[in-house]
Structure 1
Amino acid sequence: MDRLEMSRRTLLKQGSAALTGWALLNTLRVGAAPAVLAQAGAEVLPWLEQPAENPVPEIIANQLTWEDLDSWVTPNDQFFSIAHYNRPEIDADEWHLEITGLVKQPLTLTLDEIKALPRQELTFTLECSGNHGLPFFWGGIGNASWAGAPLAGLLEEAGVLDDGIEVVFWGVDAGEETIGEQTVTQHFARSLSLADAMHPDNLLCYEMNGEPLPQPNGFPLRLIAPGWFGIANVKWLQRIEVWDTRLMNRFMARDYVTVRQEGSEDEPVWTQRSVGRALLKSAPARVVHSNGHYRIDGAAWGAPIRHVDVKIDDGPWRRARLDRTQRAEYAWSFWSFNWANPTPGEHAITTRAVDTAGNVQPAADDPLLANKLTYWESNGQITRTVEIPT
């Protein structure tokens, strides 16, 4: 019996019932507009404030324009992408993936061999941890159906040794880094603890919305770690290593690190934590006018959503209506709020999400955000301004 056949049996034995439940949970229609967004002939009012011009289009590309949001699944050609170094062009026929380090049996797999493994698919809203943290970066988010081979099965097949605690994911993309007085060429890398890497929903992903991964989004293979910020979802993947120590490179220990003041005013303590799991968040997407009626549409994500509240100007929080037609465990939820008889002039619209555990999206003056010095993990309540015509 060859290795691929053993992998198939191993993964199938791990739970066909679980895979069936997952498939039902993640049912979607690519490109279909949810009920809250489907309204032909409606006028979308522009937000008065707009993001600043992007000064680094070679790094941050294809941002979402919130007023244009009309599909639960983001089409591939509209999905944002980030380049930390270069954007490598890879020949899939020459490419292979290595799984090595502290394992009993190192593996080398071609793309065809990975595609021959049991296929798993899930819908996941991917957000950059810098989204809404910079004046020009408000659209680093998108929702897609991702498909690939479960990572856990291949790590089990390789056989992680007892002293292995960290799984490091290396990309093909590379650039120069200065470490002390030395300048070196370094490949992009991020890591997960072994326990986090073994989560059954992590995928070695080769397909996005039913098509091969686009080049900007990691072709031919990327890691999809649902529930984590985008930085953890390594693109252009070429090597996976198991270590007995923590990875402390630029993207784990120096950049993508949130610095926050804790302790007391008299004795402040400055903490530094690597960006990790996605956070509870919502945003107003657009204001729609049709036949004399106004409606506010938006999205909420980062956790299972219980409800979304909307506040107009200094008024009370009022409950929005969640769209229930398209839902998935790791995907955003769309919502709408019928805005009755708005007065002409400018109005500020603020939203907050509440998850099923009762956690509330923080306000900007919440100490969790007010004491944060870095722009990463900016999940505060978002306010947009619109003008209602006379």
Structure 2
Amino acid sequence: MIFPHSSFVKSYLTTRSLQPENQESPIEHIRTDLVHPSLFYRRNHFTYPSFTSAYYWLPIRGLVEKPVCYSVQDLLRLPSRTIKAVLECAGNKRSLFEPKVFGEQWEKGAITQGEWKGVSLRTLLRAAGLKDAAKEVVVEGYDYGERTDTDTVHTYARSLPLDQAMHPDTIVAYEYNSQPIPFKHGYPLRLIVPQWYAMSSVKWIKQIYVIDSAFEGPFQSVDYVYYPYQESDEGAFPVTTMNVNSIIQKPSNMEVLNTGKHTIEGIAWSGEGLIKKVEISIDGGSTWSDAKVIPAENYAWVKWAFDWTVPVKGEYTLMAKATDSGHRMQPSTPFWNRKGYGYNAMEKVKVKVE
């Protein structure tokens, strides 16, 4: 896989924390459809796991007729699928919430896109044979550590409902952009769940098991849950698919421009459909015009652009709002929730024209 030199040179990750390592992509400067591994954002709950890949096996057990255990070489011999997909952290843009919420203060770069190659999870589950009582499929990673809320050690594990686990494009991936998955992003195997927030795309898969009830692990029942109220759990519901969203990549926030012609450009994506329209406002939302949207594959972000001629000096608030095929549109204000997930209010940057 060859990446244009300009797509990553002189661009760097922004560190949000070192223990565990959480770093943000310079998404405003990424112009390629496939994000180079060096600019892939890093999201961890614990320190990186340690294991010997030479002895790596993937067991599938639980409510199956025939428990199986796969080596990576076994998986390479099975029919493969390649999926170009957006991965977005559920906390992306958390720093923009008002009132502020606790948690990693991501700006706009907890997002990436690339091509993932692997085996459909349903291929593996069918080979094992699901029992009638099967309800959810739990995927557990090798990463583990102590949670601050319980002072107990937990491994990172998430479950999928059976219909999502059996979707043909939910894959156990072993390649990213035609290369083995980088260790910091899940080598040797990572689950990829297109259109769901990336907490479901479990890294460093340790085992997969099938259960007959709702999974109650803390990264399922405590974290990655929308809590609409500060002091109450009333009305809580799980984080699943990505909200319709967009980013203005150019111009940058607080950039100084000259009068004349400029191109406003960026990306947009959705977890429940295709982006059909992106609208741009150059006057803080008073009026809107359609941007040119470049169609993309099912799970990929779309690129969009809008030509802007600026005859008058001054300060401008540029805004973008995307609409998907299900008529979901970015709202003017986000759905506030106390853990700060799913921010998708209309995109906004300010510029000065001199």
Same fold (TM over 0.5): yes
- Per the alignment, residue 117 of structure 1 pairs with 78
Residue matched to 1:126 = 87
Once the two structures are superposed, residues 172-206 of structure 1 have per-residue CA deviations (whole angstroms, 9 ceiling, x without a partner) of: 001124786xx542211000011210001011100
Selected match of 2:262 from 283, 288, 294 = 294
The CA distance in 2 between the partners of 1:55 and 1:179, in whole Å, is 21
Which of 98, 105, 109 pairs up with 1:139? 109
Structure 2 CA distance for aligned equivalents of residues 68 and 259 of structure 1: 33
Q: Kindly tell me the number of residue pairs found equivalent between the two proteins.
A: 331
Report the equivalent of 2:58.
97
Superposed CA deviations along residues 153-184 of structure 1, whole A, max 9, x for unmatched, are 1101101111110100000001124786xx54
Partner AA of 2:343 in structure 1? S
- AA aligned opposite 1:157: A
- Comparing 60-69 and 90-99, the one that deviates more: 60-69
4+ residue runs over 4 A deviation:
288-292
Aligned to 2:319: 350
TM-score (norm 2): 0.87
Provide the rounded CA distance (Å) in 2 between the counterparts of 1:59 and 1:105.
37
- Measured in 1, the distance between the counterparts of 2:112 and 2:144 equals 25
Letter in 2 for 1:142: T
**1:60 CA displacement:** 5.1
- Identity percentage of aligned residues: 29
1:236: which partner in 2?
204
Which amino acid in 1 is paired with 2:309? A
Question: Following superposition of structure 1 onto structure 2, how do residues 1-390 of structure 1 map, counting pairs within 5 Å?
Answer: 31=3, 54-59=15-20, 61-134=22-95, 136-137=105-106, 138-177=108-147, 183-260=151-228, 270-287=234-251, 292-302=260-270, 303-314=273-284, 315-324=286-295, 327-364=296-333, 369-370=335-336, 372-388=337-353, 390=354
Give the partner amino acid of 1:191: S
Distance 1:146 1:363 in 2: 33
Of 188-197 and 335-344, deviating more is: 335-344
Deviation sequence 1:58-79 (CA, Å, 0-9, x none): 4454422233122121111111
For structure 2, list consecutive stretches of 5 or more residues without a partner in the other structure.
Answer: 8-13, 97-104
Larger Rg: 1
Q: Which residue of 1 aligns with 2:99?
A: none
- The TM-score, its normalising length taken from structure 1, stands at 0.79
Residue 82 of structure 1 aligns to a residue in which SS? coil
Counterpart for residue 10 of structure 2: none
Residue 373 of structure 1 and its aligned partner are, at CA, apart by: 3.4
Write the letter of the residue equivalent to 1:285.
Q
Structure 1: gaps (5+ residues): 1-28, 39-52, 262-267
Report SS of the residue matched to 2:194: coil
Q: Distance in 1 between matches of 2:262 and 2:313?
A: 12
8 A Cα contact 2:246 2:347, kept in partner: yes
Q: What displacement does 1:332 show?
A: 0.2
Q: Which amino acid aligns with 1:243?
A: I
Q: In 2, distance between residues paired with 1:70 and 1:150? A: 29
